[in-house]
Structure formats: structure tokens, C-alpha cells
Amino acid sequence: MSMNKPDPSTPPADPTPLDLAALMPFAERIGIKLESASKEEVRGEIEWRAELCTAAGVMHGGVLMSFADSLGAICALLNLPAGGSTATIESKTNFFRAVRRGPVRGVSKPLHVGRTTVVVQTDLFDAEQRRVAQVTQTQAILIG
């Protein structure tokens, strides 16, 4: 592992959004930008780009799901006990409208923080603040 890259198995102490984004190379690759991150809420944005689309310039549903999964994973990570890590074990997405331009903003909030799982809801909105999708995911809490 490079000395310049953070250890992806544990978040840094008092992490900034940039610290957390650096833990997820794929999120960086598709252009996710974190705006804020706390135990209570994670906010981010991804811009519409032609290379992220299906036919007719519609942002691919897999990109939207990846965006939501990334924000949700960070929210779960921030709610873990010391020494814990996490992995998505279930994810459900409802799509409400297509994205053909502009940014998509996401907001993740924990619905449940337990001993073995964290459940997170992520809402995605287009530039007009219309709901694009809602994702509920369960993250396993891994200790050791």
C-alpha cells in the first residue's frame, strides 16, 4: 500500500469529507464529491456526464445506485464502533425520474444503528430538488 494513500479499513480520526472520499477510489472515479459528513448526515453530489449515461442521455441507474451506496457506506462508517468496518449486505432502490442534465445531490441518514447492522436511507435529488431515487441499504458491522 502506498504511503500516500489512507488505510481503507479504518477512517481517520476526525475525518473531513476529503479524507472519507479518499477511502473510496471508485467513488472518486465516477466523480462523487462529498460536501459534508457526520454521523447524522452525509451529503454529496455527482454531475451528469455523457459517459455516465445510457441511451438518450439518461444517467445510468447503476451510477445513481453507486452514488447512493457510497454516501450510505460513509454514513455507516461514521456510525461504527472503534475498530469496526462495514460492508453492504442489502440495498433497495426506487427510481422516480430520469436525470438528463445537471447535478444529482444525495443525502444519507441512518435509520438504525445496532450491534450488528446499520440501516441507512439515501435520497437523491435533481437540480430542481425533485426526488430522483430513494435507496435503503443495510450495512453489516464487521469487528476484528
CA 58 → CA 12, 101, 126, 129, 143, distances in Å? 36, 8, 12, 17, 40
Helix (H, G, I), strand (E, B) or coil at 12: coil
Helix (H), strand (E), coil (C) string for 73-140: HHHHHHCCCCCEEEEEEEEEEEECCCCCCCEEEEEEEEEEECCCEEEEEEEEECCCCCEEEEEEEEEE
Helix (H, G, I), strand (E, B) or coil at 14: coil
pLDDT, averaged across the chain:
89
Statement: the pTM of the whole predicted model exceeds 0.95: no
Residue 138: is its pLDDT beyond 50? yes
Cell 450488528 sits on residue: 116
Band of residue 17 on the pLDDT scale cut at 50, 70, 90: low
- Tell me the C-alpha distance between 61 and 133, whole Å: 9
24-70 pLDDT per residue, tens: 889 989 999 999 999 999 999 999 999 999 999 999 999 999 999 99
Q: Where are the domains of the chain?
A: 17-143
Architecture of domain 17-143: Roll (3.10)
- Tell me the C-alpha distance between 62 and 124, whole Å: 13
**Residue 44: its H or E element:** strand 42-47
Cβ contacts of residue 107 below 8 Å, gap of 6+? 41, 42, 43, 71, 122, 123, 125
